[in-house]
Amino acid sequence: MVTFQDSASPALEGVYVNGSQSPTATASVMHNRRTQHRLVEFPIATDPLQDDRATEIKLLSFARPHMRAFHFAWLSFFTAFFGWFSIPPLMPTIKKQLHLSADQVSNSNIVAVSSTIIGRVIAGPLCDRYGSRTVQAVLLVLGAIPVASAALVTNYTGFMLVRFFIGLVGCTFVATAYWTSVMFAKQVVGSANALAAGWGNLGAGVTYLITPLLFDLVTTDDAVSDSVGWRVTLLFPAFFMVAVGVCLYLYSDDSPQGNYADLKKLGDPVHHEPEALASKTKVDMSKALVAVAKMPVVWILAFQYACSFGVELQVHNVLSLYYFEDFTRPAGVCNAATDASKCRILSQTKASLISSFFGLMCIFARAMGGYASDVANRRFEMRGRIAVQFVVFAGQALFLYLYSQLTTLAWSVPCLVAFGVFVQACTGSTYGIVPYVSPKLTGVASGIVGAGGNVGGLAWGFLFKGVPNRRMAFRYLSIFVAAAALLSAGIQVTGERKIWGKDDSVHGSTAATECGEGEDDDGGESGGKRARKEEEMMA
């Protein structure tokens, strides 16, 4: 625990960070003390040299500001996903009531993902200016409007509009990652991001679990018609979004030092903004974007994220209808052309409950992917991370292909679970590599890779629209995922060991220097030294 004392007090002799005295941090603490005019005592270990970010994660704590922000970060993202994917579980009923064709349903899935890309572009700068707490609260409250407005839809046009605006809540991922990055130090920020993102994504699985049950409850004993029932059901996620948005705004903080608006009123906000934000003004962002965009590894990771998070988005959109419409009794038992309802094995509720298994894997699988990448890195450095990347993507491709071949529930459901585990693990392992791509421009690299996920969701939406047979579409999708696995061999991070070929990394050059081979044949610098210099020049 870090205790802040009054700068005027003679008792101030240093700062204790993780139990060790840090005299060099005294000035930082005194500055914070003078600016805030109050005694601050954090109930969790922090590092004053990292703007009072927490150096540990106490999951059972709800104390302000760090752990309160962490729990509201994942809960708000969870709520956003709950509202974002509240319509797909009810799609069988909505499709029937609004007389939608299969093509129109596919179009609605596409627009629900496309709007997120737009939101991601503006969410980051808004967080820079107003703080993630405010941005997250506004996104949830405003996002609740189109969710509730879906109850008023009577035609295809209206349905497309509400799905487009509901999709904007998907950019809450930006605010979530931003929030945890502001609150947690570099020692634990990776784990904090993985947990918050994984538990947030869990909202999609839970909405598949709860929404159809609410629909059944509302329509029990024909209390209301199906046409009214699905509309009433969608009011629940809307109220949930508003409640969480209001609570997080009132009872959490933008940063360890306080809320951005309050800090700016003090007249010295720069010292309280995260280091990444304070230094961002010193970097020409357009040049940074160009520099990072020139790296092939960034686009490999973006494609891989499209084949993991993008796949997740598309599967969430189609899974309920897939189980409801595509799993039928044998042709000899009934005629699907004349009486489709009697041929279906599953009801809307049962189809959605099975579909929830895919999303529920988020509770552990994303963090598991990141953890596996970290463990491999400790033993084999970057080669270990790349190896894990290949394994999880190969596993995803394998189970997705098998899933596309299965026509019986007894085999399809276990395969869906295995597929879901590998999909989530892929998202975690991908972001285990991203921070190494360009350490001084991690935000830019992370933004490009993250956008790849949403673009992937959009692309796979068009794939499923162009291939009417969903099983065949899943099969084609497995081919793209397999290609993403193979591309792992092409991941080359400056200054890190490659998975194959000559080792020109910093590590390799160090070993070469020890053997008297510090220079190339032409008398120039070794590959590792050049790599470090190129990284510094680029950043």
Query: Same structural domain for residues 186 and 235?
Result: yes
Query: Same structural domain for residues 121 and 162?
Result: yes
- Would you state the pLDDT for residue 120? 80
Q: What is the pLDDT along the chain (539 residues), one digit of tens a residue?
A: 333 233 333 333 333 333 333 333 333 333 343 334 445 678 999 988 888 999 999 999 999 999 999 999 999 999 999 999 999 999 999 999 999 999 999 999 999 999 998 888 788 788 888 889 999 999 999 999 999 999 999 999 999 999 999 999 999 988 998 899 889 987 788 788 889 999 999 999 999 999 999 999 999 888 889 999 999 999 999 999 999 999 999 999 999 988 888 887 776 543 444 444 444 444 466 788 888 889 999 999 999 999 999 999 999 999 999 999 999 887 767 766 666 777 889 999 999 999 999 999 999 999 899 889 888 988 888 899 999 999 999 999 999 999 999 999 999 999 999 999 999 999 999 988 888 888 777 777 888 888 899 999 999 999 999 998 999 999 999 999 999 999 999 998 877 766 665 555 554 444 333 344 444 444 444 444 444 444 444 44
Which CATH number does the domain housing residue 483 bear?
A: 1.20.1250.20
Question: Is 210 inside any structural domain?
Answer: yes
Query: Same structural domain for residues 201 and 309?
Result: no
Query: Same structural domain for residues 359 and 479?
Result: yes
Residue 331 half-sphere exposure toward CB, CA atoms < 13 A: 1
Question: Is 275 inside any structural domain?
Answer: no
* Interatomic CA distance for residues 423 and 311, integer angstroms: 8
Out of 237, 252, 267, a domain closes at 252
Question: Is 14 inside any structural domain?
Answer: no
- Would you state the pLDDT for residue 397? 98
Question: Is 482 inside any structural domain?
Answer: yes
Query: Same structural domain for residues 446 and 510?
Result: no
Query: Same structural domain for residues 314 and 210?
Result: no
Question: Is 272 inside any structural domain?
Answer: no
Query: Same structural domain for residues 98 and 179?
Result: yes
Q: What are the two backbone dihedrals, phi and then psi, of residue 288, each rounded to the nearest 5 degrees?
A: -65, -40
Angle of helix 365-380 relative to helix 409-437, nearest 10 degrees?
A: 50
* Interatomic CA distance for residues 342 and 332, integer angstroms: 13
- Would you state the pLDDT for residue 337? 63
Question: Which of 75, 78, 85 has the alpha carbon at shortest distance from 234?
Answer: 85
Question: Is 521 inside any structural domain?
Answer: yes
Nearest-10 Cα torsion for 396, 399, 403, 404: 70
Q: How many domains, the chain?
A: 3
- Would you state the pLDDT for residue 502? 56
Reduced to 3 states (helix: H, G, I; strand: E, B; else coil), residue 7 is coil
Query: Same structural domain for residues 337 and 412?
Result: yes
Out of 252, 274, 309, a domain closes at 252
Query: Same structural domain for residues 224 and 296?
Result: no
* Interatomic CA distance for residues 431 and 447, integer angstroms: 11
Question: Is 25 inside any structural domain?
Answer: no
Residue 462 half-sphere exposure toward CB, CA atoms < 13 A: 6
* Interatomic CA distance for residues 370 and 193, integer angstroms: 10
Is the alpha carbon torsion for 398, 404, 409, 413 positive or negative? Answer: positive
Query: Same structural domain for residues 380 and 418?
Result: yes
Question: Is 402 inside any structural domain?
Answer: yes
- Would you state the pLDDT for residue 442? 73
pTM of the model: 0.81
Query: Same structural domain for residues 92 and 225?
Result: yes
Query: Same structural domain for residues 393 and 301?
Result: yes
Q: Which domain holds residue 531?
A: 506-538
Structure tokens at 362: 């988020």
Reduced to 3 states (helix: H, G, I; strand: E, B; else coil), residue 252 is coil
Q: Quick one: DSSP state of residue 297?
A: H
